[in-house]
Amino acid sequence: MADWRPLISRRDDGFPRIMGVLNITPDSFYANSRLSSVEETLEIATKMIDNGADWLDIGGESTRPGAKTIDSNEEIARIIPVIRAVRMKYPSIGISIDTRWADVAEAALDEGADMINDISALSDPRMIEVIKTKKCPICIMHMKGIPENMQDNPEYNDVVKEVREMLTEKVNLLVDAGIGVGQIIGDPGIGFGKLLQHNIALLSAGRDVIPMENMGLMWGVSRKRMFSDLLGRSDAEDRLAGTLGIAAMAKSRAVDIIRVHDVPEHTDLFRAMSALEDF
């Protein structure tokens, strides 16, 4: 396993850590991110690491709007060979397992993953036990509903307040179980049961959505449908510019980790911004 402690907070220059997305699925929303073999995935992982990724987020279940739940055994079968191969070749890279299920998370951590990225925010009651036993970091995300129905006209009175309240509840569960706040990362869940106005409000709020100052903040906006609503880009292939526009605001919002499909472009963005800041 990697030393994850320095990887769950912002870089020394204030820019977020970059997490590259590896979807071992046949149906993730961005077709170019779908991977089907260990060899292909390892090749993409190598490119991401060479281009500046601090983390690789490996997932075996699509959670796009309308996606169906798959059996956890199938999810394990998809991700374990990849985690083994990546960990063997890159012993110090951060590996995150993107899953809602405790048995999948446990299997991934046993094979060398470092962090759990749980979009369902502890919906599996055994997830807390796994986190406590493995002493790993956990990212909890806000989602209204489940992937099958989350975009069926979601409504909020005050989206920032309601997301913060839900994350507060989950953080308290973790802390009460003896898990340190420094192990916990919050994700507002952009596109997960939100309309465009909700997404914009949550991104604008930055760290106001998380309940404790010394926990982490992660954004995942990469090529999401909000850019169809915001910019008229209906095809995910045409959403890179919008994605980078949001990413350019990540430092000012004190984001710790940004989850992306396009690692080189985000690395270049942060390097260019840093150069001007340092001039």
Tell me which residues are annotated as active site.
Answer: 224, 259
Nearest to 141 by CA among 159, 105, 106, 167: 167
DSSP code string of 183-207: GEEEE--TTSS--HHHHHHHHHHGG
DSSP character for 262?
Answer: -
Report the distance separating Cα 10 and Cα 16, nearest Å. Answer: 5
Report the distance separating Cα 212 and Cα 171, nearest Å. Answer: 9
Number of H helices, E strands in the chain: 9, 8
> What are 198's two structure tokens?
């909700």
Helix (H) or strand (E) holding 96: strand 94-98
Nearest to 229 by CA among 192, 191, 201: 191
- 142 touches 123 (CB < 8 A): no
A 10 A CB-CB count for 266 gives: 27
DSSP character for 2?
Answer: -
Nearest to 113 by CA among 87, 131, 140, 88: 87
Is 153 in a helix, a strand, or coil? coil
What is the torsional sign of CA 5, 11, 16, 22? Answer: negative
> Which amino acid belongs to residue 38?
V
Report the distance separating Cα 90 and Cα 46, nearest Å. Answer: 9
